C-alpha cells in the first residue's frame, strides 16, 4: 500500500509543471527545487526500504506509512 501512496505523490510535481509550465525565472527554479526534493525523498525511501528488507524487517516509511494506514480499513 505504501507504494501506491508514493506513486500518487509522484503525480503532483508533474501536475504543477503542466499547469504552470514555467520556462524561466523564479517559477522554473521553484519547479526544479520541487522535482529535486521529490527525487531525494524517493531515493531515501528506496534506500531505507531496501536496507530494512535486507535486515528482515518490514519497512515503514515515515510519512507514507501513516497515509497508507488511513486508506486501509
Please give the pLDDT value at position 9. Answer: 78
* Per-residue pLDDT at 73 exceeds 70: no
Give the number of other Cβ atoms within 10 Å of residue 6's Cβ.
Answer: 20
Give me the mean pLDDT over the 49-67 stretch: 87
How many angstroms separate the CA atoms of 18 and 51, rounded? 35
pLDDT tens digits, 20-34: 777 778 878 888 888
- Mean of all residue pLDDT scores within the chain: 83
Specify the number of domains making up the chain: 1
10: alpha, beta or left? (left if phi > 0; alpha if psi -120 to 50): alpha
Please give the pLDDT value at position 55. Answer: 95
What the block records as the C-alpha cell of 62 is 515515515
Instruction: Domain of residue 30: give its range.
Output: 2-71
41 vs 56, higher pLDDT: 56
* Nearest Cα residue to 6 out of 53, 57, 48, 51: 48
* Per-residue pLDDT at 44 exceeds 80: yes
Amino acid at each position: 500500500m505504501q507504494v501506491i501512496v508514493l506513486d500518487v505523490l509522484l503525480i503532483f510535481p508533474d501536475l504543477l509543471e503542466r499547469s504552470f509550465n514555467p520556462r524561466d525565472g523564479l517559477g522554473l527554479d521553484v519547479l526544479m527545487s520541487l522535482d529535486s526534493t521529490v527525487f531525494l525523498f524517493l531515493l531515501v525511501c528506496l534506500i531505507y526500504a531496501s536496507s530494512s528488507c535486507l535486515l528482515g524487517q518490514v519497512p515503514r516509511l515515515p510519512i507514507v506509512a501513516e497515509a497508507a494506514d488511513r486508506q486501509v480499513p
